[in-house]
A and B are shown apart, each in its own frame.
Chain A
Amino acid sequence: MTESSELTEQPLDLLYSETEDDLRAAVRALLADRAGHQALLGRIETDSPYVPGLWKSLAGDIGVAGLLVPEKLGGQGASHREAAVVLEELGRAVTPMPYLTSAVVATETLLALEGENDAAAGLLADLAGGRTVVALAVPLSTAPDAELPLGERVAAVADATAADAFLVLRADGLYAVPADEATVEPQTPLDLTRPLAAVTTGAGSGARLAGPGPARAAVRRGLLAGAGLLASEQLGLAEWCLEETVRHTRERHQFNRPVGSFQALKHRMAQLWLDLVGARAAARAAADALATGSADAPLIVAVAQAYCSRTAVRAAEECVQLHGGIGMTWEHPAHLALKRAKSDQIALGSTGRHQDAIAALVGLAPPA
């Protein structure tokens, strides 16, 4: 028999619970109130696109920073399923927010070290309370199964300018380095809502959290959770793109009809909706597989990434095209979604990398 048929199929819960729906409503209301697209357009060319006070409201008041962290470590004791719902909303609103980077990737990395080290536990408690923002010092493009960088200078680290500390992988293990001991050089990102910077940390700076073996495993686990939940961000973003496009084409008249009544346009939007049906199933599957610690998680995460990356980019591209001229302007928020979607396509592993991972996991080897 083949490898794939040996993989036992986990019973995945692909629906949303009532708690998850409530959490979504709370996050959506907060973002609509404080971080609308027009507010973002006014901030993205300033020194910091992050809306002041928003992280405190979301992380502290609603308590989303500690969703992955067990209650005994100061968190909410929820799971990846709830964090995924938060990311759907952050994707919808294209909110600049160190959530995926800090509350998912860095937090999951530290969770993998639970019991290894008291410093990790302390950092987790601060993360869970929303008091500290931590970024894993790897390029945003790093896939869960990629070769991990060990140099002193790491470029394209996401949300580095918002971080209070960095997790730095070195040959001898994983270090926590306070931001004031690091040099952070902002870069100009394609996606202005997710700031990137080169982070340089001197050898020997910071405190060692784990030795080389556990460190690599922990970082991979952090990146896997990040990749799996990025699918939910992409889903939310794609949903917003389709909704805005439908709204626009119902209202916009040319040739004495709403342009949305032309079959050529309707079919494109209907096709996008079909892709979203798939993306929602894939993103939910990834979140549930991570939440339950399923052995299938690496495969399902790769599937969700390969699919949702493509869906988000196409939704954003269609959003620009079907808006016509207005979609090409800076004042319309479609470009925020396009730039986020295109950047997300590379983030945490490109489609090709995820497909290569799938090929290896299910035994579909390339030609010799």
Chain B
Amino acid sequence: MTDAEELRVRTRKLLDEHPPATTDRTDFLRARFDAGLAWVHYPVGLGGLDAPRALQTVVDAELAAAGAPDNDPRKIGIGLGMAAPTVLAHGTDEVRRRFLRPLWVGEEVWCQLFSEPGAGSDLAALATRAVRDGEDWVVDGQKVWTSSAHTARWAILIARTDPDAPKHRGITYFVCDMTDPGVEVRPLRQITGEAEFNEVFLTGVRIPDAHRLGEVGDGWRVAQTTLMNERVSIGGARIPREGGMIGKVATTWRERPGLRTHELHRRLLDHWVDAEVARLAGERLRQQLVAGRPGPEGSAMKLAFARLNQAISGLEVELLGDEGLLYGEWEMRRPELVDFTGRDAGYRYLRSKGNSIEGGTSEVLLNIVAERVLGLPPEPRNDKDVAWKDLAR
């Protein structure tokens, strides 16, 4: 068992041997990984020390105090939050050793090839096919809503390997090489005018069988590891009071008395209370995680923030009046990072519409809460025991 003091000692040793001021950033990050201080709850040899996850904060605090570089987690969120836990849980030793270090260091960016034009909320209905050909699989199909596809070196991919099986049972999970000549990436422009995401067309893409994660036909179960971690990473951040969108509109309210009306005041206070309570709920969730008592509250956070962001940004556009009629610029850009609160109120209003769609629609999440948390009975369904190829499309 590794305790906080031992981690401090190890961290100081890393800093002594690789002084951040004189060490190349990538070299430092590699050394940190090799010292087991990347993600302490990971196994020894894979960037961790099999230590409690909560102790990561000890390492992070020491490193931050010493001015050490980090791996810029916002830029490699899909790799850290989704690909890594799945590779760890389902990859062979060889696969884990090949992928986890460059993933964590940020030398290799990852993206996620899950959603399809015909498989959104019903992700298990996906139609991208993978056909076995000797030691390889050959993949054909179309994926959508892929962030970082244009910068990614690798992708986590789910594809149909058995069309005759019911939809959940005929899927297999792969690591896909984004430099394969059969991969074509096209920007997907959103209602904000920007293109954060891509469409990805897969034509005769070859994937070695060694890059399969989990058993053939077991991809849906493997994907649950990825999706569970997606919701944790979206809901897990700590927020200061008036952090996020409420801070923007509160500042405008304070600085520009001429915009105020009674009706907007009442709504602003409603939202302020909701935002503060959501912040406290997030803090409570964080304390539960630190205490080793995670609850189902994580799924509540994403739902709450989606609704709040939409309500607050809508109010902000109204509050601005004449300025609310304007929009910064519609020129298509390809932002490197997802940005919910940057730019102007009109952008925030439009971008927040995605908050209740991306990473599971609010409607699907409410079903999940109802069935898994409250134990309510599922809706009767007619797609569970039917071969995928016979489903209505």
| A interface residues (Cβ-Cβ under 8 A, vs B) | 2, 4-5, 7, 9, 12-15, 242, 246, 249-250, 257-258, 260-263, 266-267, 269-271, 273-274, 277-282, 284-285, 303, 306-307, 355, 358-359, 362-368
B280 close to A260 (CB less than 8 A): no
Extra inter-chain contacts (13) besides given A14-B283, A271-B366, CB under 8 Å: A4-B242, A5-B242, A261-B376, A266-B374, A267-B370, A277-B300, A278-B278, A282-B277, A284-B280, A307-B274, A307-B277, A362-B242, A364-B269
Name which of B155-163, B257-265, B348-356 contacts chain A. B257-265
**How far is B274's CA from A355's CA once the two chains are assembled, in angstroms?**
11
Beta-carbon nearest neighbor of B261 in chain A: A367
B377 close to A258 (CB less than 8 A): yes
A-B complex: 9 closest residue pairs judged by Cβ atoms = A266-B370, A14-B284, A367-B260, A281-B281, A270-B369, A281-B280, A261-B377, A270-B366, A278-B277
Count class of interface residues, chain B: 35 or more
Interface SS of B by simple majority: helix
Q: Which B residues are in CB contact (< 8 Å) with A285? A: 280
- Total contacts A to B, CB within 8 angstroms? 140
Q: Can you list 28 pairs linking A and B with CB atoms under 8 Å apart? A: A2-B251, A4-B250, A9-B240, A15-B284, A242-B374, A249-B376, A250-B375, A260-B376, A261-B376, A262-B379, A266-B374, A269-B376, A270-B367, A271-B366, A274-B303, A277-B297, A277-B300, A280-B284, A284-B284, A303-B277, A355-B270, A358-B269, A358-B272, A359-B269, A362-B250, A364-B272, A366-B260, A366-B265
Beta-carbon nearest neighbor of B253 in chain A: A364
Q: Which A residues are in CB contact (< 8 Å) with B281? A: 277-278, 280-282
Give chain A nearest CB distance to B294 CB in angstroms: 12
Give chain B nearest CB distance to A241 CB in angstroms: 13
A15 close to B287 (CB less than 8 A): yes
**How far is B272's CA from A186's CA once the two chains are assembled, in angstroms?**
39
Q: Which B residues are in CB contact (< 8 Å) with A262? A: 379
A270 close to B374 (CB less than 8 A): yes
**How far is B277's CA from A285's CA once the two chains are assembled, in angstroms?**
9
Give chain B nearest CB distance to A252 CB in angstroms: 11
B241 close to A7 (CB less than 8 A): yes
Beta-carbon nearest neighbor of B281 in chain A: A281
B374 close to A269 (CB less than 8 A): yes
Beta-carbon nearest neighbor of A274 in chain B: B300
Taking A261-B380, A266-B376, A364-B272 as contacts, is the C-beta distance between A9 and B278 under 8 angstroms? no
| B interface residues (Cβ-Cβ under 8 A, vs A) | 240-242, 250-251, 253-254, 257, 260-262, 265-266, 268-270, 272-274, 276-278, 280-281, 283-284, 287-288, 291, 293, 297, 300, 303-304, 363, 366-367, 369-371, 373-380
Q: Which B residues are in CB contact (< 8 Å) with A282? A: 277, 280-281
- Max count, chain A CB within 10 A of own CB: residue among B251, B254, B268, B374: B374
Taking A303-B277, A307-B277, A367-B257 as contacts, is the C-beta distance between A362 and B371 under 8 angstroms? no
B250 close to A364 (CB less than 8 A): yes
Interface SS of A by simple majority: helix
A257 close to B254 (CB less than 8 A): no
Q: Which B residues are in CB contact (< 8 Å) with A273? A: 300, 369, 373-374
Beta-carbon nearest neighbor of A13 in chain B: B287
Q: Pick the contact of A281: B254, B284, B366 (CB < 8 A).
A: B284
Give chain B nearest CB distance to A156 CB in angstroms: 26
Beta-carbon nearest neighbor of A307 in chain B: B277
**How far is B370's CA from A281's CA once the two chains are assembled, in angstroms?**
20
B376 close to A246 (CB less than 8 A): yes
Beta-carbon nearest neighbor of B293 in chain A: A15
Q: Which A residues are in CB contact (< 8 Å) with B300? A: 273-274, 277-278
B370 close to A9 (CB less than 8 A): no
**How far is B266's CA from A355's CA once the two chains are assembled, in angstroms?**
8
Q: Pick the contact of B371: A242, A266, A364, A366 (CB < 8 A).
A: A266
Give chain B nearest CB distance to A360 CB in angstroms: 11
B367 close to A358 (CB less than 8 A): no
Q: Pick the contact of A2: B250, B272, B304 (CB < 8 A).
A: B250
**How far is B370's CA from A246's CA once the two chains are assembled, in angstroms?**
9
**How far is B283's CA from A12's CA once the two chains are assembled, in angstroms?**
9
Give chain A nearest CB distance to B225 CB in angstroms: 24
Taking A2-B254, A281-B284 as contacts, is the C-beta distance between A367 and B265 under 8 angstroms? yes
A270 close to B370 (CB less than 8 A): yes
Q: Which B residues are in CB contact (< 8 Å) with A367? A: 257, 260-262, 265
**How far is B261's CA from A281's CA once the two chains are assembled, in angstroms?**
31
**How far is B378's CA from A250's CA once the two chains are assembled, in angstroms?**
10
Q: Pick the contact of A362: B272, B304, B380 (CB < 8 A).
A: B272
Taking A277-B297, A281-B281, A362-B272 as contacts, is the C-beta distance between A250 and B376 under 8 angstroms? yes
